[in-house]
Amino acid sequence: MKNQYHPPKTVAEIASVFSSLTPVRDAMLRTRLAYWVDRFGDRPLADLSPDDVDATLAELETTPNRYGNFKSGPTINRFRMAMQSLIRFARQKRLLPRGWVSPFADIPQHKENPGKLRFLTPEEEQRLMDAARLQAWVLLPLLIRLAIVTGLRRGALLGLCWGDVILDGDAPHVKVDRTKNGDAHVSPITPDLVHEFRRMRRVKSLDFDLIFVGKHLNAPHDFRHGFNEACKLAGLEGVTFHTLRHTSCSRLAQAGVDILAIAEHAGHRSLSMTRRYSHLCIKGRANTINNVFS
């Protein structure tokens, strides 16, 4: 008798298929999803109730970390979104009953903190680049400059191989097979980056070798300490690596590039993510007004 196929039903089974078919670059998403799997892994996903979700979110809110600090509202939202991603996948693959209502449906999210949009001025970028050249990891300046020019996220940058960098032809670029949003993406690069890529590539590097490595050639280098030290040396406050992505989009907005082009540059699926830069687009709008009404 042939083995019958039994579609995955439990949270753990569906999470395993989700991880296999939807490779996730964001390690934190995997960690947050594992939090749910640890608690409900043996339960059918369709049996998950609002009470289960409410109790889990309450546990997240009231359990301090090892330093005695509690998770913020936006962080709780990220845990919630991890499980909702799994539910969305299960719906797409028809692993949930027709008409099934998500247990998250009537549970409100925490209010997100809009925060101030931090980006680097050209002078701050130069200071950061100068400080990065004094750090032990020689690839740090290249990584910083590439992040500013392309606006790519940290995970996409660290996943680049030498074969993803196209230096010849009229339009040098880097290509990412799968971004955080699951889409392929191509980012043009500047002549200074072309020069640096050629200078930094090892003679024996193969196309499938990772670019941003340290002593372990099969894994991305953990550059956080060097980056933080460079920020301190450059006298930059409130700067994280994600600030470089904001810098890329903000520079385009300040140059008059329209929101749709910035969204394409950043790989945003929704314009709501790009509108945070709209107040910087005054130059482009001013040119349009002058051209039309003058």
H-helix segments, 41-110:
50-62, 73-92
Q: Residue 29 is part of which domain span?
A: 11-92
pLDDT in the model for residue 220? 93
- The verdict on 32 and 141 lying in the same domain is no
Taking only the tens of pLDDT, the chain with its 294 residues reads: 456 667 789 999 999 999 888 766 667 888 899 999 999 999 999 999 999 999 999 999 888 888 788 888 888 889 999 999 999 999 999 999 988 999 998 888 877 665 567 899 999 999 999 999 999 999 999 999 999 999 999 999 999 999 999 999 889 999 998 655 556 889 999 999 999 999 999 888 899 999 999 999 899 999 999 999 999 999 999 899 999 999 999 999 988 888 888 989 988 877 767 877 877 777 666 776 777 776
DSSP state of 71: P
Give the count of domains, the chain.
2
- The verdict on 139 and 79 lying in the same domain is no
- The verdict on 82 and 216 lying in the same domain is no
- The verdict on 173 and 286 lying in the same domain is yes
- The verdict on 74 and 172 lying in the same domain is no
Last residue of a domain, one of 46, 75, 92: 92
Within-domain flag for 106: no
d(CA 6, CA 25) in angstroms, rounded, equals 29
- The verdict on 166 and 127 lying in the same domain is yes
Within-domain flag for 282: yes
- The verdict on 272 and 164 lying in the same domain is yes
- The verdict on 126 and 81 lying in the same domain is no
| CA 131 to chain centroid | 25
Planar angle of CA 65, 70, 74, nearest 5 degrees: 120
Within-domain flag for 113: no
Within-domain flag for 108: no
- The verdict on 167 and 258 lying in the same domain is yes
d(CA 185, CA 128) in angstroms, rounded, equals 27
